[in-house]
Amino acid sequence: MRRQITGFSNPTVKFLRSLREKKHRKEAGKFLAEGLRLLTDARENGFIPEVLVMAENRDPHPLLEALERDVIAGGGEVIETSDDILTKITGKDNPQAVAGMFSEFNTRLSTIDRASAKIWLVAQALRDPGNLGTMLRTGDAIGAGGLILIDDCADPFSAEAVRASMGAVFTQKVAQAKWDEFLPWLRAGEGQLVAASLRDAVPYRGAPYAAPCFVLVGNESRGLPEEYEAACDLRVTMPMRGRADSLNAAVAAAVLGYEVLAALD
Amino acid sequence: MRRQITGFSNPTVKFLRSLREKKHRKEAGKFLAEGLRLLTDARENGFIPEVLVMAENRDPHPLLEALERDVIAGGGEVIETSDDILTKITGKDNPQAVAGMFSEFNTRLSTIDRASAKIWLVAQALRDPGNLGTMLRTGDAIGAGGLILIDDCADPFSAEAVRASMGAVFTQKVAQAKWDEFLPWLRAGEGQLVAASLRDAVPYRGAPYAAPCFVLVGNESRGLPEEYEAACDLRVTMPMRGRADSLNAAVAAAVLGYEVLAALD
């Protein structure tokens, strides 16, 4: 279906705008992704938006036309609207000319096939959606299977996480679990749990990594709880030559993730 | 000097608050850093705030008392105020109980002594202050000398950059220069310029790094201009196993920076 929306108080506009808040995303089970590049990545991975919202004054683009056709063919809705209304929906002053609404994915641990990749990233109590999205992006780059979010993390379907993922939210598996659920799941199959740590740790270069390798990083300010570190198969440490005693969480995951990739390649 | 401020319209409150905007920071040549940890890092590196603002209801802390003494001894000002006014100054809903005002540092290239470190990070047109602060933090960790900002970058003295640097803004040198100024400066001495690149590049692992090594990353969306890459001594590439063709800029700098550290160590 195709239609034009010109009114700010239109219920669809209000609904899409409400998805900026986590509470409303969870109620509806929907999220937004912005920009033709992200939506094209989604499409090439088999994810077609249920609703596509486009600026009336957008530049024509063959990829956008292909996307429109797929949305219509899939029974979805294509909406044309003004820049102002797009700004209202996305909350950005200079919105991309197009945004898509998707159903949130099933993020249960049981959806993860650990044998499908040699590396999995795991984050515990990660609070920053930008870090979360960056870890998805890094996971894509190192050929990880996905990102497992332990305990109370930022929402992977927030606009900031989706944006920072640069489309990897559509290519990486995402799972969410409490530690008490994750650890038995991990131990029920093959898998090496590796923590970036300062305690009882070996140098991260040349450490005995083994596939499937689960690379665990902790909360941005507190790091990993001691008992989580103790439950790991391997604790590794990166050089810290300055005054600081830790790296940004997404940076730590990337430096360690690339090392694991080199070791298991 | 010590005083209490109770009014929102107090000129000092207005002045400190104005430092949230780049324009006012540049006019005044001042910036703010928040939190006892950051201010303690600053103090241990010889940077004492000119103005220290504290919440009246803060918890007592020996490090804060030491900081107060140093501020008074240095001729600075210690201000006690309400949580509400601290919120107004920092723009954060849950402000840290203390903030300090510093003079911006001299960021000319000529302040950089390239022989003082084996690694220097260089960013071109880096737009995200969080990425900038994260690069400073990573630079501290890998023992880099500092961060050189090429062309039009985010402001290293913004609250977000200072916060993301986790104190490294006080331990790493920061320089700002146009490319046309940077390249002649670099070539006037020793130094290998290394770009993270996809063009005509060798694998980043085992590449022939040499000190002082200047690790260059480009703008978040456009990457490096082709002529900048061409001017580099070495172009290296990181594996990209997924759909994405690039990493987050701060992640790329960190993965490459740690590789250079391992090579030159």
Confidence tier at B92 by pLDDT (50, 70, 90): confident
The partner residue sitting opposite B138, judged by closest CB among A134, A139, A251, is: A251
Residue A46 forms contact with B (CB below 8 Å): no
Last residue of a domain, one of B33, B68, B103: B103
Confirm if A106 and A31 have CB atoms less than 8 A apart.
no
Chain A residue numbers with beta carbons less than 8 Å from the beta carbon of B254 are: 247-248, 251, 254-255
Pairing of strands B2-4, B77-81: parallel
Chain B residues in contact with A135 by the CB 8 A cut-off are: none
What backbone phi and psi angles, to 5 degrees, belong to B195?
-110, 140
Q: Are B154 and B126 in contact (CB under 8 A)?
A: yes
The whole-number pLDDT of residue B179 equals: 98
**pLDDT-derived band at B90, boundaries 50, 70, 90:** confident
CB contact under 8 A, B254 and A247: yes
Residues A88 and A126 in one domain: no
Helix ranges (DSSP H) in B50-201 = 62-73, 83-90, 129-141, 159-164, 179-187
Tell me the angle at which helices A129-141 and B249-264 cross, rounded to the nearest 10 degrees. Answer: 60
Partner-chain residue, chosen from A130, A138, A167, that has the shortest CB–CB distance to B243: A167
Boundary-marking domain end, from A51, A78, A103: A103
CB atoms within 10 A of CB A57: 9
The beta-carbon neighbor of A242 closest among B141, B251, B258 is B141
Q: Are residues B122 and B240 in the same domain?
A: yes
Structural domain range at position B139: 109-264
Q: Are residues B137 and B197 in the same domain?
A: yes
What's residue A123's pLDDT? 98
Contact between B142 and A168 using a beta-carbon 8 Å cutoff:
no
Domain co-membership, B86 together with B127: no
**Whole-Å CA distances, A7 to A11, A26, A56, A81, A82:** 9, 26, 14, 9, 9
Q: Which residues of chain A have pLDDT under 50?
A: none
For residue B160, count other CB atoms closer than 10 A to its CB.
Answer: 15
B36 and B145, same structural domain? Answer: no
pLDDT band at B2 (very low <50, low <70, confident <90, very high): confident
Are residues A79 and A136 located together in one domain of the fold? no
Q: What pLDDT score was predicted for residue A14?
A: 94
Q: Are residues B209 and B147 in the same domain?
A: yes
Q: How many domains does chain A have?
A: 2
The whole-number average pLDDT for the span B53-68 is 92
Yes or no, beta carbons of B251 and A251 under 8 Å apart: yes
Q: Per the CB < 8 Å rule, is A171 touching B243?
A: yes
Residues in A 143-202 with any Cβ partner in B closer than 8 A: 143, 164, 166-168, 171-172
Instruction: Give residues with Cβ within 8 angstroms of A164, minimum separation 6.
Output: A129, A130, A131, A132, A133, A134, A136, A137, B248
In this complex, which of A142, A246, A248 lies closest to B241 when CB atoms are compared? A142
For B:58-117, CB contacts with A below 8 A are none
Whole-number pLDDT of residue B140: 97
pLDDT tens digits, one per residue of B131-179:
999 999 999 999 999 999 999 999 999 999 999 999 999 999 999 999 9
**Does residue B52 register a pLDDT over 80?**
yes
- Chain A with chain B: Cβ pairs closer than 8 A: 112
Q: Percent of chain A scored above 70 by pLDDT?
A: 100
Per-residue pLDDT at B58: 86
The SS3 assignment for B40 reads: helix
pLDDT in tens, B193-243: 999 887 789 999 999 999 999 999 999 989 999 999 999 999 999 999 998
> Which candidate from A41, A168, A254 shows the least CB-CB separation from B251?
A254
Q: Cα dihedral angle (A114, A120, A126, A128), rounded to 10 degrees?
A: -120
Sign of CA dihedral A198, A204, A210, A215: positive
Q: Which residues of B touch A146 (CB under 8 A)?
A: none
Taking the CA of residue A153 and the nearest CA in chain B, the distance in Å comes to 19
pLDDT of residue B105: 94
Are A234 and A202 in contact, with CB atoms under 8 Å apart? yes
Whether A167 and B41 lie within 8 Å, measured CB to CB: no
Domain endpoint, select from A59, A76, A103:
A103
Chain A nearest CA to B242, separation (Å): 5
Q: What is the ipTM of this complex?
A: 0.94
pLDDT digits (tens, 9 = 90+) for A39-79: 999 999 999 999 999 999 888 899 999 999 999 999 999 99
Find the CATH number of the domain harbouring A254.
3.40.1280.10
CATH number at residue A46: 3.30.1330.30
Cβ–Cβ of A134/B254 closer than 8 Å?
no
pLDDT score of B99:
94
Band of pLDDT at residue B245, cut at 50, 70 and 90: confident
Which of A45, A166, A251 has the CB atom closest to B244's CB atom? A166
Are both B209 and B126 inside the same structural domain? yes
Same structural domain, B113 and B52: no
**A69 CB contacts (<8 Å, ≥6 apart)?**
none
Check whether residue A84 and residue A121 sit in a common domain.
Answer: no
Chain-chain contact of B137 with A248 (C-beta, under 8 angstroms): yes
Tell whether A254 lies on the interface with B, counting CB pairs under 8 A: yes
Same domain, B114 and B86: no
Domain co-membership, A170 together with A133: yes
